[in-house]
């Protein structure tokens, strides 16, 4: 199997109230969970293919408890990626290259599609945002806990970035219109952290 490694930053936002209980294997607050997960790859390599600076996102629709139900998913890959880079990212994030993405892919049910799109990922202090023109626009802001410090969750069983504490956030806005979905939310859950994935 191809050796690869990705490191960078990620965030997610969904329709659950903060903090989303799905990460503990509990039922979502609305009975279902609709989310977008976005990754910004700071440094990445797949065999000899460099993946630095590229973005990937995943639309997720879970009809119930995320640990017990298969998810409908759609993938979005940065249009800046070459065909070789795009194929590498599709292989990794579909779980075919092993590592933690394969764990996430074990929850996938129906795959709605994969699109090459313009992606604007921003990370600034407590804020993270992703814009996919004509499809999605999401921004979250980290919540403040005691003494103004970040609120974090560690070692949660259902996680995007194992080994990293997830900072709890709330969406400033979350809109997505694609594959028949039309989500318009604000003030709902968000998580953000760094991530590190690898496989061989």
Query: Given this model, what pLDDT does residue 1 score?
Result: 75
Domain range summary for the chain, segments of one domain joined by +:
4-199
**Residue the block writes with tokens 């279902």:** 32
Question: How far apart are the C-alpha atoms of 189 and 34, rounded to whole Å?
Answer: 11
Question: How far apart are the C-alpha atoms of 88 and 97, rounded to whole Å?
Answer: 9
Please state, in angstroms and as integers, the Cα–Cα distance from residue 47 to each residue in 3, 88, 134, 174, following that order.
5, 9, 33, 35
144: DSSP letter: B
Question: How far apart are the C-alpha atoms of 7 and 122, rounded to whole Å?
Answer: 16
pTM score: 0.96
Query: Given this model, what pLDDT does residue 132 score?
Result: 99
pLDDT per residue of the chain (200 residues) written in tens, 0 to 9: 789 999 999 999 999 999 999 999 999 999 999 999 999 999 999 999 999 999 999 999 999 999 999 999 999 999 999 999 999 999 999 999 999 999 999 999 999 999 999 999 999 999 999 999 999 999 999 999 999 999 999 999 999 999 999 999 999 999 999 999 999 999 999 999 999 999 98
Task: Tell which residue, 14, 1, 4, has the closest CA to residue 168.
Answer: 14
Query: Given this model, what pLDDT does residue 133 score?
Result: 99
Question: How far apart are the C-alpha atoms of 94 and 113, rounded to whole Å?
Answer: 11
């Amino acid at each position: 199997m191809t050796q690869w490694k990705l490191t960078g930053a990620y965030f997610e936002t969904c329709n659950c109230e903060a903090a989303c209980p799905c990460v503990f294997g509990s039922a979502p607050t609305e009975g279902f969970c609709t989310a977008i997960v976005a990754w910004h790859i700071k440094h990445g390599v797949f065999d000899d293919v460099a993946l630095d600076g590229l973005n990937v996102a995943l639309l997720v629709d879970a009809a119930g408890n995320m640990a017990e139900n298969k998810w409908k998913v759609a993938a979005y890959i940065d249009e800046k990626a070459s065909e070789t880079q795009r194929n590498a990212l599709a292989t990794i994030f579909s779980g075919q290259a092993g590592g933690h993405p394969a764990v996430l892919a074990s929850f996938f049910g129906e795959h709605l599609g994969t699109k090459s799109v313009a992606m604007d990922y921003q990370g600034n202090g407590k804020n993270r945002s992703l814009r996919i023109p004509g499809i999605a626009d999401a921004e979250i802001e980290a919540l403040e806990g005691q003494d103004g410090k970040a609120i974090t969750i560690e070692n949660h069983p259902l996680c995007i970035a194992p080994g990293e504490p997830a900072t709890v956030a709330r969406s400033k806005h979350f809109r997505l219109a694609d594959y028949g979905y039309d989500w318009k939310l604000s003030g709902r859950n968000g998580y953000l952290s760094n991530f590190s994935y690898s496989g061989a």
